[in-house]
Structures are given as C-alpha cells and as structure tokens.
Structure 1
C-alpha cells in the first residue's frame, strides 16, 4: 500500500509541475505558447486520472477531487469535448460525497466549465458548414469547395480552442483530402502532441509521413516502429505496412520494403480486433505477396480478402495498390466524424 501511495503522490507532484509550466506559457500569450500550455494541461489531466486509478481503495472525496482536477485541466487546456467527458466523471463521483462537500469542491470548476461550454456551443452554432456536415455524420465532404468551407469553420474553432484534439484530427483529414499534405502533417502532429497515447493517431501518421516527408525523414519515423519491442496493435501494423508499400514506389530495389510490409501485415492479422481490420490486413498481405512474386495486383485481391463489395464498385482500371491503401486508411479512420468531434 505504501508503494501505491508513493506512486499517487509522485503523480500529483508531476501534475502540479505541469500546471505551473502551463500557467507560465499562458501568461506569455500568443498562439504558440497557448498551444504549449494546452499540451501540458492535457498531460496533467491524464496524470490526474492515473494518480487516482493507482489507489486500490480510493476515498470518495479523493476520487471526486481527481475528477475535478482532470476536468479543470481540460477546460483550461481549451478542449471542451474532452472536458465534457471528464465532467461526466465528476457527476458520477458527486453521488459518493455529501451535498455540502460536493458544492464546496465544485465552486471553482462549475462556473468555468459552464462558461467554456457556452462559448463553445455559441461558436459552433455560427459554423454553418460544420453544422451541416455534423448532421450527415461524415467528416470529409465530397467536393473541394465544401472541404475548404468546412475547414475554415474548423480553423475558427481551433483559433478559440487550440486544445480541441478532435478538431485537429478533423483539420488533418480535411487538409489531406484537399491535397495539402504539409498542412495535414502539421495538424495531425498537433493532435498527437495533445494525445500521444492515441494509437489511431500514431498509425495514420505513418502513412502520412511516407507521403509527406522526404524519404530519409519518413524512414526514420518508420524505423522507430521497426525497432519497437512493444505489441503495436493491428491498426499500427496495417498503416506501417502501407507506408512501406508507399515508400517502395520510389525505391530502386523495393523488395526489402515489401518484405517488411508483409511481416507487418502478418503480425497485424494475429491481433485484428474487428472484421474490417482483418479484411484490410488480408488485402494488404495478398497485395504484397503479388508484388513479391512479380505479378501485377488485380481486383481479385479485394474479392479474396472479403472486400467484394468494394471490388464491385471500383473502376476496373484503377491502380490496385492505391485502392487497397485507400480502403485500409478509410477503415482505420472510419469511426472518426465531425459528429463525434463536436
């Protein structure tokens, strides 16, 4: 128990230092220092949650205090959607303490949280293109003109709430669809800095790196995945394999990259948690097998992988390598939408 308590105290001390550093950045003013403060406050919020989870027998008032601090960090970290999730933790923990204690503990957070939500909702109400897209449940509209209009709304949100992780993700997806890979890389990088533990963000960054960065820089990023001893997860293995395939297009001797892609697809298949991921990993496996055999990949790959519906609607002359990559990246990003983001 002493060891657990020591870990708890250490977490609280670390969180406190992060908050102090964030306060200093906020005092500087300006976009860059404010974003750095948001990064620090998001980390502090994660630590507050880990600190209380480290206590096997946590007093109700201690748990409520941790939830309040987590929510406070996300409010001050300019992330109303994530703060809303943390507010749910606060409400759950309120029922475990008496009313007088709850009122006193919420005196600082409640008005600040309510004001942040009011400002956020008011801003969203004025983002007409974003509002319409939210109703469709999609993230990327079909035309470039619509994409630019929605992205302007997303930029408005991020100007006011630069810690809003889901809107940096939306910015990345829209910019990538618009062909602005440099901008997409920047936006995804900010989402990853705010939420470095998000494996989906990490996975998508691998393919984007292969497409956006010079080969040496992209290979350095992929090398970190190759050298990792951790179990990476099916999404990361899939996007790593596709990134190797992408870089192989520029290689004079692509076989080594194809072999690494095949190894990654095989590893991902053993971990795939969903049917969609399994099918896309299988398609990638079949694709690389064809490339290694010196064969031109055909739409048969999609049928054999269980993606017959996509094969049926695909243009018969479309590049199968690009088609497999497109389908796989859509699958990895599928659950993200503006409806979820906002």
Structure 2
C-alpha cells in the first residue's frame, strides 16, 4: 500500500526534479497528481516512464491525499498550503515561508529526523534553503564529535537557484559576449552574471547582510544547534547548476583532519573526494544529477586553536531542494504515516 502524492509547481525546475526523484527512488506511490498554475494547465511532465498532464492548483481538492510537495514560491504557498493542510494532506514546502515558524519543523533528514513528529501542529514541514541544506549535512556529524562554536562560510551559488529565467540570462549573456550587437542587459540580476560574480543573493537587510546570508545563519541554528555562531557571504557565480561552499569551522575540542575525513566518509548523504593532487576534488559540474553532497579539501586551520576547512559541493536542485523534500516525504511515511 502506497501514498497519494501531490507535486505543486510541477512545471518548474524544482517541481520536475521532485517528480524525477520520486520515480528514481521508487517512492511508494499509489496515485500522483501534478499541479501547476492555470496558465500551465495541461502541460505534460514526466514521472518515470509515465507522462502526467498538469491539473489546476486553484481548483484541486486535497482531501484524501497523503502529502503534497510544494515548489511554488512563498506567495502561492501562503494561499494554498493552509488549504491542503486543513484537508488533511501534509505539506512539505520548499519555499522560505514556514522555515522560521516555531510550530513548523525545518528538516534535513540526515541531521534532525526526530523533528518530523512536530509536523502535526500545522500539518506542514519546511524544506531548508539550498545553501543551508548541503552545509548542515556536513556540519552535523562533526558537531556530534567535537561541538562546533563558529562557522564562516562563503558560497558560490549557481544561477539555477534563481529559476529558469536566470539560467536563460546566463546563457544569452554568454552568447552575446561573442556576437556584436547581441549583448544582453541584466534583467534577473542587478549586474551582468556572464563571466562575473555577484556578491548579492536576495535583498539587503539593515545589518548589511543579504537575506540569503541571514537564512544560512538562522536555519543552521534551527536544524543543528542554536548555540552555533554562523557568518556567511553568499555569491552568485556563472554556473548553471550546483552550489559550492568554502567552509571554515571552529570547534570547542580539537578535531584532527584525518579523523574529520573519516567521520565525513561514514556520514549519510556525503561522499568524500579529497586527494591532494591536481583535480583531486569535486567541482560543480561533476555534482550535477547526483544525490550526494561532496566534500573535498579537508585540512586543518592552523590560525585558530581548533579549526578545520573544507570544500562542499552539491546539486542545488537535488539536495538543495527536490531531493531533500523527497527524503522528508520518505521520513514522514516511514516514521509517521506508515503506509508504504
């Protein structure tokens, strides 16, 4: 006996990935519905070897459905998530709307699976920000061993995190660099993204941090440990898919790099590729389409007493969004609903 599953936002980058991953991981589905806005009504999307026609989200009745994976942005989620939840369908939301709500669990299954039982307060579970998700998978096993005091992270985030229009902008700007008269002015981003880096993701806050940087701080505390101090600098780079992060960690206890490497090798969801030779590390293009979060460049930071550096790469459309949502669905089914 399987589950009745809804995917909301099925025509977007993340929604399509959700459908792909549900099929790849053979999630126990009895019935599946692909929902989209009215303008995408009838668009065909793939689910394994099946083709689904999208239904109208605005007219859909969530009664009798077990869970709904939302990838429709905060504004639409604010309208439709309470409707689904009230109908008894558990919402797993990829937007930022509910992440900081104390009555909604924010879950990375490798880190805080026990939090899933908190879903019942609102019938909603939040999926974390893409940059946070891959980092905490690596931080949690290290924290369990040596207790993290402080994290300094710089991100190198792909344009797919901003959606299809951003990917098109990078592609068209790149082509335009080589064809006189076909230059493309920035539209999605405040400055040119082709052959450039933009040290701004989301809006600026009064503190000088961007909203993306604030998200990484707040979500890490909620998922791993509120006592951890985090400071982040988030940068958009001209890469289509996969986010990279340079992470510096200060521990309360000394943690040798060799022990850290072994801890990370044994941790769920991680793959360590760490050879001290040219090419002995993972880059964004190599992570595309993979379930794993890759860790490389593990080394001691000798400038502080208990410091460690590492490089972290993951497909942001997978672990940073769709994969984590499906893993939450698996956890919900296994630990709570227990039908599959």
Q: TM-score, normalised by structure 2?
A: 0.27
Name the structure, 1 or 2, with higher relative contact order (CA <8 Å, separation 6+): 2
Name the structure with the higher strand share: 2
Larger Rg: 1
Q: TM-score, normalised by structure 1?
A: 0.27
